[in-house]
Amino acid sequence: SQTIHQWPATLVQPVGSPLSLECTVEGTSNPNLYWYRQAAGRGLQLLFYSVGIGQISSEVPQNLSASRPQDRQFILSSKKLLLSDSGFYLCARLGQGGTEAFFGQGTRLTVV
């Protein structure tokens, strides 16, 4: 089966602290992976996507970065969190020509 593990589920961090959210994928190789964010009262926005190891594309300028150190690992990071980084972060992949979508459980980040 194709499973996405994402952790932690919830996180409360002070402003200025670093961030690392991890996403790992099972059951497939060389997946296209995505990080989305849902800010309060808004829809899900694509932040980054990766088509392979070391290949990261950013959709919006921001305080965050992403890395793909291994084929099935996708990491979202920040050196210094801002209040505006609060939100619900979701790791995802597409499968089978875009007819399937798989999601992690999400991380609810609150920056205080």
Partner 1 sequence: AQSVTQLDSHVSVSEGTPVLLRCNYSSSYSPSLFWYVQHPNKGLQLLLKYTSAATLVKGINGFEAEFKKSETSFHLTKPSAHMSDAAEYFCVVSDQTGSQGNLIFGKGTKLSVKP
- Interface mask (CB under 8 A) for partner 1, residues 64-93, using x and -? --------------------------x-x-
Rule CB under 8 A: say whether 29 interacts with partner 1.
no
Q: What is the DSSP pairing of strand 33-38 with strand 44-52? A: antiparallel
For partner 1, which is the closer residue by CB, 55 or 63? 55
Pick from 85, 82, 88: which is nearest to 43 by CA? 88
Rule CB under 8 A: say whether 44 interacts with partner 1.
yes
Rule CB under 8 A: say whether 5 interacts with partner 1.
no
E-strand ranges in the chain read: 3-7, 10-13, 19-26, 33-38, 44-52, 55-58, 65-70, 73-78, 87-95, 100-103, 107-111
Residue numbers at the binding site for partner 1 (CB under 8 A): 10, 32, 34, 36, 42-46, 49, 51, 57, 90, 92, 94, 97-101, 103-106, 108
